[in-house]
Amino acid sequence: MTTSERRCVDGIVNGSPFKRGRTGTLVGDWTVISTNVFITNISAERLWDVDKPLPAQAQIAVNISLVGLDRKSDRTIEAPFVFTVNYNPSVAQISIKGKAYATGESDEISKLVDDHKQQKPPIPVIQAISATVIAEAILMSKSLGIPPPLPALPLPQEQERQRTSTSRYTA
């Protein structure tokens, strides 16, 4: 590994301050895929009346769709995307559109393109998009006064065991 490669890897591992919407992903043996995410459209709407209390429980469906994956050069791909958040009951809806540009070694970019052709998601690109748009969706949900689109936290193992072990043994 050359000195410049080591600096790049050390910067990513040590959490170098990337600009918002830019990530670097380590792939395989120290190959780096750098991804820039650009948001081109943001839409958020509260459908629930502000005078009514929000429902006690709501299902939140989050979806990221890659509209395509185009090779722009030997080392760069472009991936337009649409991110949506829908609530049930219809509390609100959030939509974010944009483009992600991934740059890396030619063989890694070729692998991402081949994986996409085989209906496999390009994981480094999806992760970069997800990190960027979830942050934006959380900010929008705060502004609208609705629950943020966060995954449910798993129960601690002790509480889970107490829930499942309801049988008793008596002699």
Domain residue spans of the chain: 3-151
Residue 150: per-residue pLDDT: 86
Helix (H, G, I), strand (E, B) or coil at 53: coil
pTM value > 0.75: no
Each residue of 130-165: pLDDT tens digit?
Answer: 999 999 999 999 999 999 998 766 767 655 555 554
Q: How confident is the model at residue 45 (pLDDT cuts 50, 70, 90)?
A: very high
Bigger pLDDT: 10 or 151?
Answer: 151
Strand intervals (E) in the chain: 22-27, 31-46, 59-66, 70-73, 76-88, 92-103
Q: Which position has the token pair 């009346």?
A: 49
Residue 90: per-residue pLDDT: 96
Each residue of 70-111: pLDDT tens digit?
Answer: 999 999 999 999 999 999 999 999 999 999 999 999 999 999
- Report the alpha-carbon distance of residue 96 to residue 121 in Å, rounded: 19
Is the distance from CB of 85 to CB of 28 less than 8 angstroms? Answer: no
Instruction: Tell whether domain 3-151 is in CATH 3.30.1360.
Output: no
Distances (CA, A) of 153 to 91, 142, 150: 21, 19, 9
